[in-house]
């Protein structure tokens, strides 16, 4: 995600550019105003170093500019959403590359030029949340805002990432935000057993025993269907 200083800069910028149609319909969850945007490249023209494609991810980086303002858009091409915008000093180029040795989408932003000052930007929301502390409220709020913006475009293939993000938000004490994400996980995959367990744990933390029991029971039933009762935590049995 963007550093705090970058977010402040971008959120105050009204940005328009001029170009090809394939990104115009993408949902914009970046800090930039792209309502009148046109892009200088199509998805077919993106340079190999500007793409990160694995079994689970499909990310692109796209350079855009307007007069003396230049940015690199981070695009989740699988979900058709623009997730971020990074200032760059180069025209028509993105200063950086995707780390293709990693199993997660990590953009190495070369902010200093010539690999002089590299900032590693991880676009796995769950991994970013995992590293944060409760005191880092601005960063947490920024991630929640990004997740909420992208919720409509998530698919069943994203439930693992969403569930993990919700789990770390629960650990950080963001119960309602976690519940919102978990309810969307269940909407995408009604048989996702672990989601019911996480929901029940949140209701326990909120001292709502009735809803905790209800969701523990659903979790138990789903685990029974899967033949995984031996994996059910002993701590939940008093609620069944």
User: What distances in angstroms separate CA 33 from CA 14, 104, 105, 149, 186, one per listed residue?
Assistant: 6, 27, 24, 14, 32
Residues 131 and 209 both lie in one domain: yes
Residues 108 and 141 both lie in one domain: no
Domain that holds residue 144: 127-239
Q: Model confidence over 136-173: pLDDT tens digits? A: 999 999 999 999 999 999 999 999 999 999 999 999 99
Token pair of 44 as six digits: 């077919």
Query: Above 80 in pLDDT, residue 26?
Result: yes
- Highest-confidence range of 6-15, 95-104, 193-202, by mean pLDDT? 193-202
Residues 15 and 69 both lie in one domain: yes
Residues 137 and 83 both lie in one domain: no
Query: Above 50 in pLDDT, residue 62?
Result: yes
Q: CA–CA separation, 217 vs 147, rounded Å? A: 28
What are the residues whose beta carbons fall under 8 Å from the beta carbon of 50, sequence distance 6 or more?
Answer: 60, 61, 62, 94, 97, 98
pLDDT of residue 3: 42
Q: CA–CA separation, 163 vs 169, rounded Å? A: 10
pLDDT, averaged across the chain: 85
The total domain count for the chain is 2
Residues 119 and 133 both lie in one domain: no
* Prediction pTM value: 0.83
Residues 53 and 90 both lie in one domain: yes
DSSP 91: S
Q: What is the CATH number of the domain that holds 174?
A: 1.25.40.10
Final residue of a structural domain among 92, 123, 154? 123
């Amino acid at each position: 995600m963007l550093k705090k200083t970058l977010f402040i800069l971008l959120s105050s910028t009204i940005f328009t550019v001029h170009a090809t149609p394939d990104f115009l319909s993408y949902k914009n969850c970046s800090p930039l105003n792209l309502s009148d945007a046109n892009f200088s490249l199509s998805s077919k023209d993106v340079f190999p170093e500007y793409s990160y494609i694995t079994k689970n991810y499909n990310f692109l980086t796209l350079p855009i500019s307007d007069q003396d303002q230049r940015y690199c858009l981070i695009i989740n091409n699988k979900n058709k959403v623009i997730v971020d915008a990074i200032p760059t000093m180069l025209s028509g180029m993105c200063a950086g590359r995707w780390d293709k040795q990693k199993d997660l989408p990590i953009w190495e932003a070369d902010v200093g030029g010539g690999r002089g000052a590299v900032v590693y930007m991880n676009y796995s929301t769950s991994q970013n949340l995992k590293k944060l502390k409760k005191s880092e409220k601005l960063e947490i709020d920024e991630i929640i805002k990004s997740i909420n913006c992208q919720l409509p475009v998530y698919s069943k293939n994203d439930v693992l990432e969403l569930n993990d993000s919700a789990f770390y938000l629960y650990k950080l004490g963001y119960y309602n935000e976690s519940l919102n994400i978990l309810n969307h996980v269940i909407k995408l995959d009604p048989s996702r057993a672990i989601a019911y367990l996480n929901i029940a744990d949140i209701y326990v933390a909120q001292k709502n025993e009735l809803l905790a029991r209800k969701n523990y029971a659903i979790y138990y039933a789903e685990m029974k269907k899967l033949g995984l009762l031996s994996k059910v935590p002993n701590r939940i049995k008093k609620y069944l």
